[in-house]
Every structure is written in C-alpha cells, then in structure tokens.
Amino acid sequence: MAWNHSEYQNLRGIDEFRLQGESNTGVMFVSLFLEILVVLAAVFGWLYYYFTAHFDYWKEKGVPYIRPVPFFGNLMEMGLHRQTQAEGFRELYRKLDGHMFGGIFQTRIPMIMFRDPDLIKHVLIKDFSHFHDRGMPHDIENDPISANLVILEGQPWKNLRLTLNPAFNSSKMRILFHLVKECAEDLCRYLDGFAEEGENVDLRDILARYATDNISSCAFGVKSNSLRNPHSKFREMGEKIIAPGSWTNIHRLFRYTSPSLLKYFNIKSFSDEVTNFFVNVVKETLDYREKNNIERKDFLNLLIQLKKKIDINENDDEEDRNVDDDLEKMDTTDNFSFEEHSKTLARNGTAGTQGRPAPMQNGQAITQNGHTTPRKKWLDSIVFDENMIAAQVCVFFLGGFETAATSMSFCLYELSLNQDVQRRLREEIDHVLKEHKGHFTYNALEQMEYLDHVVA
C-alpha cells in the first residue's frame, strides 16, 4: 500500500502526540504516587510519634519497666487473642521478677503493675480512694449494660457503690442462701443418676450449668433449668459472652490497645442480642412481679426496693455501715460526661434517666466538686430504671457463673489429687451437719472453717 507525503506526516504527528500523552501520563502517575507516599509517610510518622512519645515515661522516673511495642504497648498478645488475660499478665508479672512493682504500657498509656503483696494491699484498701477506677470505657447512652459497678468511674461509681453496698453484705447474702441451697440439691440429684450408672461426665460443663442456674435464680429470679437443659437461653447467652468470637475478639483488641476507640466506633461491651436478652428478662420479670404483687427474696428484689426508694441499709451490721462511711469520705472528683447532664437536670429540676445521678433539692445536690450527700440521701442520687437494674443483675450474673464454675472445677480437681485434704474436709462437713441434725443451713456453712480454707 502506497502512502503519500501528506498522509505520512499526519500519521507521524498522531504518533508523536500519542507518545507525548503517554509520557505526560507516566510523569503524572509517578508524581501522584510520590505525593501519596509522602502523605502516608507523614501520617505514619505522626502516628509513630503519637504512640511512642510516652515510652520513656517510666525510664525518666527511674521505675523498672518492660519495653513496649510501638502501637500496641505491652498488651499486643492479649489484644490479638493469642493469650488469655491471665496468661498475658502472668508473663508481664514474671518479666518484672525481682522488682516490687514495674511499668507497662497500654498502647501509649503508662500503667503500673504491683508485685509486692503489701503494696497491693495498700492500694486496694488504704489508698483505694485513689485507685477505684478500672479504666474500662463505657457509654451508657448506647450501651446501658455498661452502667454497672465494674465499669463506672468517679462520682457516678461512688453514688452507685454507696447505694448498692448493703445488697452485698452478709445479712443480704443470708437471704439468698435458700436459693443457692435449692440449686445445690438439684445438682446432687442430677449427679446421683450418673453415679448409679458409673458414667463418666464432664464435670466442668455440669458445674458451669449449675452456676448458671444459681446466678439466674439469685439475680434474675428466674429458673433457667440449665443443668438439665444444656441449650437453655441463659446458658446460651453466658457462652456467647465468654466464648471467643468475632465480637469478643474485636472488643478485646480495642480494649487492650485503644480503649478510647471503643466509644468512638460505638463498639459495645456485649452484642445487641446479649444486651437485649438481659434487659428484656429484667423488664418482663419486673412487670410480672408488679402485676401479680409478687415479692421474691433475691437480688432483683433488693434492686426493686431501691427503685422504690426503700433504704435496704436499715438493718445492716455496724461493720457494713463502716464500709459506707469510708466510701462517703472518698474524694472522687471527676470530669465525667454525667457533669453536663447533672447541670441540665439542675436547671430543669427533673430527675435523671438511664441510671444517671439526679441532683437533689434543699441544698443536698450532688456536685462534681467533691461535695456529697448524707448516706440516707444516696437513694435519691441514682435513678433505678429498667436499664440500670439490668446492668446490675447482668454484672452479677457475669461475675458469678463463670468464676464460680472455674473455682469449683479446680477445687474438686485438687481434692481428687490430695486425698488427705478431701478426707479431712469430709469429716468436718459430716461433723457440722450432725450438730445441725442433718440440716444444711447458713449457720452450718459458717461453721465449716476448713471448707472456707479449701475454697479460698
């Protein structure tokens, strides 16, 4: 095919234009790529500085510390679910061997770990007023279950602790004894069947179901029947809380690395399914008891009394009252999010909701500047709505069923290995029961001192 000069020049011009365009595109791409790299490097540099700026904190103070990992601190393995909390802190504890205390880091936040028993006792008892906050993020607006004694901080925690303290003293625990005894008797009947058949059983699972029945009865006033029905709803919810899963892993990662981001990304303590279950159980139980005028001697009934502004502290022992006095003296000044809410309530003269402390009249208001109310007025400082009650019974449930099951499992395992201890314990139990004519009562339990040593 023949080309004339004019056509050849046109094709050559088109080809040069295309090559020039490709060259310009390449230059633009390289330039854009370099700009992105510079921005990413700047962001990474800033993040690195932000997360490592405090890593000399303990060094500057002359405190022994464990060298942290950038972005994670010393809790990375726990955050990534490679270690349990017990394993992670045990490893950190051993790394500080030879020191009474030492520094660690939660991402960029300095933390101190005490190893000396006397120091630990000092912090948890004498100086408790300075160390009562647990540093756990909470958002009671979107996560009502977080408004409990374990998570709350500052003045709100103090108000709630003073109000609930009588619910956990010896006289109130005595009230719950008959519920524990009923569940224990059911456990004995359940195990008798396996004993007669000589069948091997997973005692850890059975004790977990027994503990679930126990706590659901004492806390919620509900018979969960988990012992005989391993797939009961209470057992299912308990497993979802403690069993590893996507929700648990995400929450745990942020909790141990960047706890402040939990609230920012609205990551709740528990899934909506778990939260809704406990809140609905409380709501339905409260409605049923109110409609049928039912009063059951359990933990939920104590909270109902508080909701009705009935002081459950009236008949407490002097020792229990002394605990209240110590708490009242605590200075818990706090810039908590409750502050603005309390100011709004003070202006409007209305009561709080969602478990927030409501201001009081006649000069008895609770403020954020350290002023507190008399013990008899604490009832008015907390609004016990359904969410608030659900938060308390939920943490009662969580703090009881898994820990109790684990403790009983290890205790029975150790007793099987130490026959002499088992024999002495059995002799004490038989002796005490004989004194009480075979009746297992709260007083009989208090007389079993060796049992207390074994369990403790």
By the 10 Å C-beta count (0-12 exposed, 13-18 middle, 19+ buried), 203 is classed as: middle
Domain locations in the chain as residue ranges = 58-124, 154-409, 418-456
Tokens of 251: 């929450």
Query: Which helix (H) or strand (E) element contains residue 215?
Result: helix 203-215
Question: Contact 400/211 with Cβ under 8 angstroms?
Answer: yes
Whether 68 shows a pLDDT value over 60: the answer reads yes
- What is 154-409's CATH number? 1.10.630.10
pLDDT tens track for 5-36: 555 455 555 555 555 555 556 566 667 778 88
Check residue 384 and give its pLDDT: 76
Reply yes or no on whether the pLDDT at 413 is more than 90: yes
Question: Which residues sit opposite 75 in a β-bridge?
Answer: none
Largest CA distance in the chain: 125
Residues in the chain, total: 456
Query: Residue 15 has what pLDDT?
Result: 56
pLDDT at 248 > cutoff 70: no
Per the structure block, which two tokens stand in for 306? 């508080």
Question: Given its phi and psi angles, is residue 358 left (phi above 0), alpha (psi -120 to 50 degrees) or beta?
Answer: beta
Is the backbone of residue 362 left (phi > 0), alpha (psi -120 to 50) or beta?
left
Decide if pLDDT at 343 tops 50. no
Least confident of 147-151, 322-326, 384-388, 440-444: 322-326
At 49, give phi and psi (nearest 5°): -65, -40
Helical packing angle, 272-292 and 233-242, nearest 10°: 140
Which candidate, 111, 136, 97, places its Cα nearest to that of 57?
Answer: 111
pLDDT value at residue 399: 78
Torsion of CA 421, 427, 433, 436, to 10 degrees: -120
DSSP 419-439: HHHHHHHHHHHHHHHHHTTT-
Rounded Cα distance between 310 and 379, Å, is 8
* pLDDT value of position 249: 65
The encoded tokens of residue 373 equal 């109310």
* pTM for the whole structure: 0.68
| Average pLDDT over every residue of 159-164 | 81
